Amino acid sequence: MSLVLALISAYREVFMLKQLSKMEKTRGAVIIAFVFLMAVSLVFFYAPGRNSTVEDLSQSTETVARVNGEYVTVGEIVSQKQRYAQINPQYAAIFTTKRILDGMVSNKVIAQEAARLGFTASNQEVIDAIAKEFKGRDGNFIGMERYQQTIKNRGGDIEKYEQELRDRIAAQKLEAFITAAVSVSDQEILDNYKRQNTSFELTYIAVAADKLAQKITPSDDDLKAYFEAHKKEYYINSPQKKIKYVFIETAKAGEKINIPDEELKAEYDKLTPDKKQAGVKVQQIILRVADPKLDATVKAKADDLVKRARGESGSATEQAFGELAKGNSEDTATAKNNGWINGIVRKNPNNPTDPLQQTLELPVGAVTDAIKYGNNYYIFRRGDAVPKSFEDAKQELLVSARNRKAYAAASVLAQKAADRMKDVKDPQKVAQELAGEANMDAAKMVKETGFIKPGDNVTDIGSSQQFEDGIAPLNNVGDTGDKTPIPNGFAIPQLVDKKDPCDAELSEVKDKIVDAVKKEKGKAQVEQTAKDIANAVNSPADMKAAAEKYGLTALEAKDYKIGSPLGEAGVDQTISTALLENTIYEMKEGGVTKTAIKSGDNYVIVGATKRKEADMAEFEKQKEQLRTSALQQKKSSVFGDYIQSVTDKMKKDGSIVIYKDKIAKIDAQTESQEGFPGGNGFPMPGGMPPGGQGIPLPQ
């Protein structure tokens, strides 16, 4: 793992520790994960665009923060926000202006503190770091000329990058000095091991406002009162249209189509080799993050395992990865099976966030980077592909071919219906004439909407831009449109009535009012409902009946370990709080939480059906490795606490000044845009993707 990655891992959102007893206790987290990532990733990977029609804040030199005579500019913040948005649009919400600014300020505090204490980097140390960072496939330095050209190709600045290397080396020396006396006791290692490896069978009830809302039936008086109080919010400012349309259903048209096996076999033979795979076999290593403060330690261990798995060749054999899984994976079920996951991994476009999906694009033997998912780090090795025979693929081919032919048949028939509608202007007559060809009941072919406007959720159609476009030209009663694709088929629309902008009637927006009232009442009931359920249960066996009384469900979690998401409760990421995990860990078999545990707007009540203590024989085998990880984590935390104390002091004496109006300016522009422009697959810091042509990060 490269020096920069080591620092990034070690400094990731570290939290205060009590061990620094001589220092004033701090209560906030020091966000140092981005300290060097911020500047170095800018040097390497980001060259801002200059074609925006709005003010390009990425070029702004306005000051957001002053740190003892050094400055953080608006342009630096905005460029970094754009960088993260290019990696993944969702990161724009995670890496806020404040979070990025905190990281950049910490960057400068660390560099200044290192200089104050006399920690610097020599020219030779910088040269050695460059040689280590930029290695070719043969493991040797790629040469100064190629190194400099690589940085230029990435839109970076050589002088700035090398200064960052100096700061990084100095920071390492500062950390080593501050944490020289840090140690971990055998008891700490034992306690942490027990916490991570004690498993539970849990029964739990997630009490969420939206689930309570589903069971609420508002009265007419409730709806009227809410509507009158919020009437202005429901003013209809667009013309409304009532549409009658002939519906041609694709599936019905397809039912008459016969597709022989010979045709399906020909389709199978045309498939590319990757489409003839049922899936792939995958090995895995799982490392659990039992406590958020341990994230950096676990990530560092995961990165080290990736390095060991890839070795010199960049890939891993089944046997080598299996040995690593046996000795390190915290998922006992797969670890004892050389890390092999049961079954095969299949492509699932409906769940692109599943980290296993990444293995499908890898060559056999390739090992992924450490992937954070939930409260675990995953490392996967791609195994052999599992072939898909014609018989295995037949049903899928049949569905695909039928859908294809059905759509074409329905499209032809819809055009025929549209042509007839232009002539006769009578949906019922057209439906009766074409019902046989459509394989439908004529009465079910004619549908009518209520008064609708753009953006409305139309019954049987939903919110459809294509349908809105299809009815847009219809301005006079009796106007007939062209065939229009809608969910499950085609519509041939006709305007039957229209209304100008006006105050809404309750009947017109009743569905929206019902949803709003249910949500409001659900939020009002969630706390009391959680308290009532918690008071009603004395053992896990009581939880099913207690949940059902309120229209909820008692769920189960098998082999739960601290640090894992708690099933459906984990949908709300904040529900996996330290309080919840600490409460579960202290539970005895047969126990339940005495009070509901709050997380965000929701609550959870938990019961322990079974508790299995950690395997102490395994502890003895892993003790020294656990000691190394725990020491690294504690050093990171102590260093973070130290930097936080320095930062607080500098803020207090005026050495650090934050200009909130500039933060507001950045946020205002961010909110006014749909999102920063996306990138073309910039590699995440931590390693280039297989086959990538970017800067080689050392393994």
CB atoms within 10 A of CB 548: 12
357-371 per-position pLDDT tens digit: 888 888 999 999 999
- The answer to whether residues 481 and 473 touch, using CB atoms and an 8 Å cutoff, is yes
Residue 344, φ and ψ in degrees, nearest 5: -125, 160
287-329 per-position pLDDT tens digit: 999 888 888 889 999 999 999 999 888 889 999 999 999 999 9
pLDDT at 685: 29
pLDDT at 155: 66
Q: 261-388: same fold as 236-249+403-499?
A: yes
- The answer to whether residues 246 and 491 touch, using CB atoms and an 8 Å cutoff, is yes
Which residue from 11, 13, 61 is spatially nearest to 36, judged by alpha carbons?
Answer: 11
**Mean pLDDT confidence for 96-107:** 91
CATH of 3-183+627-672, one of 2.160.20, 1.10.4030, 3.90.1720, 1.10.1660: 1.10.4030
Residue identified by tokens 């010979």 is 262
- Measured CA to CA, the distance from residue 563 to residue 454 in angstroms comes to 46
- The answer to whether residues 117 and 97 touch, using CB atoms and an 8 Å cutoff, is no
Question: What's at 335, amino acid-wise?
Answer: A
Please state the domain extents for the chain: 3-183+627-672, 199-218+511-612, 236-249+403-499, 261-388
pLDDT at 671: 59
3-state SS class at 385: strand
Residue identified by tokens 């519906």 is 247
Half-sphere exposure of 29 (CA within 13 A, CB side): 13
- Measured CA to CA, the distance from residue 157 to residue 148 in angstroms comes to 9
Residue 417, φ and ψ in degrees, nearest 5: -65, -40
Q: Cα separations (Å) of 594 from 109, 147, 565, 587, 607?
A: 45, 61, 21, 10, 10
Report the percentage of the chain scoring pLDDT > 70.
Answer: 85
Classify domain 261-388 by CATH number. Answer: 3.10.50.40
540-565 per-position pLDDT tens digit: 999 999 999 988 999 998 889 988 77
CATH of 236-249+403-499, one of 3.10.50.40, 2.40.110.10, 3.30.465.10, 1.10.10.60: 3.10.50.40
- The answer to whether residues 522 and 210 touch, using CB atoms and an 8 Å cutoff, is yes
pLDDT at 486: 95
Q: Is the predicted pLDDT of residue 452 greater than 50, yes or no?
A: yes
- The answer to whether residues 455 and 463 touch, using CB atoms and an 8 Å cutoff, is yes
pLDDT at 646: 95
Q: Is the predicted pLDDT of residue 698 greater than 60, yes or no?
A: no
pLDDT at 572: 43
Q: Is the predicted pLDDT of residue 235 greater than 70, yes or no?
A: yes
pTM: 0.48
Average pLDDT along the chain: 83
Cα-Cα end-to-end distance for the chain: 5
Q: Is the predicted pLDDT of residue 76 greater than 60, yes or no?
A: yes
**Poorest-confidence range of 51-55, 473-477, 673-677?**
673-677
pLDDT at 96: 87
According to the per-residue pLDDT averaged within each range, which of 17-31, 49-63, 79-93 is highest?
79-93
Which residue from 689, 566, 652, 445 is spatially nearest to 203, judged by alpha carbons?
Answer: 566
637-679 per-position pLDDT tens digit: 899 999 999 999 999 999 999 999 999 888 887 655 543 333 3
pLDDT at 676: 36
3-state SS class at 249: strand
pLDDT at 55: 64
pLDDT at 238: 87
